[in-house]
Amino acid sequence: MPSTRIETRSGWLAGRQGELIDAVQAALVEAIRIPETDLCIRLMEYPAGSFACPPDRGPRYTIIEISLFAGRSVAAKRRLYAAIAAHLASLGVPDADIFVVLHDEGRENWGARGVALCDVDPGFAIEV
């Protein structure tokens, strides 16, 4: 049950926001093997003056922060980084313009429907 925030400069998506969200979701499904219906992604676009990035990055520079249940292997995380880069390439985002931050959180730090998620079966494997 990852919770994902995508941040980028406005303008370059030109109406393709859904495609960017779909690309990140596809990478999550492929790499860490979550169900396709496990979807929680927010996209935030900023005016260029409100989004500072390294000078050697392009106008499609994108930061993706993913909070997820702790337990994924380093191999799964590597698959995720590669899958995100591969899927964002279809939108013309070069590898150099992708920055991913993962936040591994214990399931006791997640709550939904009034219960701690450590107390419920997530319905999929976490330790992949």
127 neighbors 92 (Cβ within 8 angstroms): no
For 44-88, the pLDDT digits (tens) are 999 989 999 999 999 999 999 999 999 999 999 999 999 999 999
pTM of the model as a whole: 0.93
pLDDT band (50, 70, 90) for residue 16: very high
Q: Which pLDDT score is estimated for 126?
A: 87
Residue 3 φ then ψ, to 5°: -115, 120
pLDDT band (50, 70, 90) for residue 124: confident
85 neighbors 98 (Cβ within 8 angstroms): yes
Q: Which pLDDT score is estimated for 28?
A: 98
Residues 6+ apart with CB under 8 A from 69: 1, 104, 105, 106, 107, 110, 117, 122, 126
The domain limits of the chain are 3-119
Homologous superfamily (CATH) of 3-119 is: Macrophage Migration Inhibitory Factor (3.30.429.10)
